[in-house]
Amino acid sequence: MICADCGSELVDDEQFACLEAEQSVTDKTVFGTGIEEESEAGEDENDQAGMLENPPEKDIMSGKPHGLSQYSSLYRDNAERANENRSSAWVLMVIGGLGIVGLMLGITGVIPLHFSNAYLFYGVMAAIFILFLVAGIVSMKNALVFEKRAESENSVKSTLLEWCGQNLRAEELDQQISSGENEAEEILYFKRFEAIKARLNHQFVNLDQGFLEKLIDDTVYEMVFGADKDTT
């Protein structure tokens, strides 16, 4: 098609859409990607500068760099859950019991309480305190369940620690990960951690990974590399 005014060739709708798409891709390539790459490069440089200026300090007690022992906070063992549920159960049951006693004293007139609608007040408060009691009983039952699981968990933990004490050696693990002499302490810690984890997963199947990571971070790492921290 030719324009009647200027004599130029016209494009149809499909060609116009293709031209718009090509222009959009060109704009993103020129203006978008370059900015993102510059931003990512700047962030990487800032991270590296921060690591050089503020290197992670080494924990004298455990031989692990500060900020790297995050596995313990990611998993709560069953004994801890049992204690939490038991504490919550006692609090809920005490509040519910005291509330019910207070309502009974108010209803019988021992504690003089005056409300415009006493039936509504006592009914609502009684329902709330009964819910406290029910929640406390449920929490106590959950605590008993977690206690039983904790016994099984402690048995598995004892088996794992015994095996680690007999089979894991710091020298063998360091040879396995091929650590360099000038390797950063945090990198060395993670390599050792993964090596220990791989050995345990190979020896024992179907282990809960959260439980395993907490055990390594809390006990096994120090057990295996405890001599190493004394010499560094």
Contact 152, 208 (CB under 8 A): no
For residue 80, give the nearest of 15, 162, 149, 13 by alpha carbon.
149
pLDDT of res. 22: 53
Q: What is the Cα–Cα distance from 147 to 155, expressed in whole angstroms?
A: 13
Least confident span in 11-20, 105-114, 214-223: 11-20
* Rounded CA Rg of the chain: 33
The more confident residue out of 35 and 223 is 223
Can you say whether the dihedral through the CA atoms of 78, 82, 83, 85 is positive or negative?
Answer: positive
The HSE-up count of residue 166 (CA atoms within 13 Å, CB side) is 7
Q: What is the Cα–Cα distance from 219 to 232, expressed in whole angstroms?
A: 19
Task: Please count the helices (runs of H) and the strands (runs of E) in the chain.
Answer: 8, 0
**Is the model's pLDDT at 36 over the cut of 50?**
no
Contact 88, 139 (CB under 8 A): yes
pLDDT of res. 228: 55
User: Mind listing the pLDDT tens digit for each residue in 55-92?
Assistant: 445 444 445 554 444 555 567 788 889 999 999 999 99
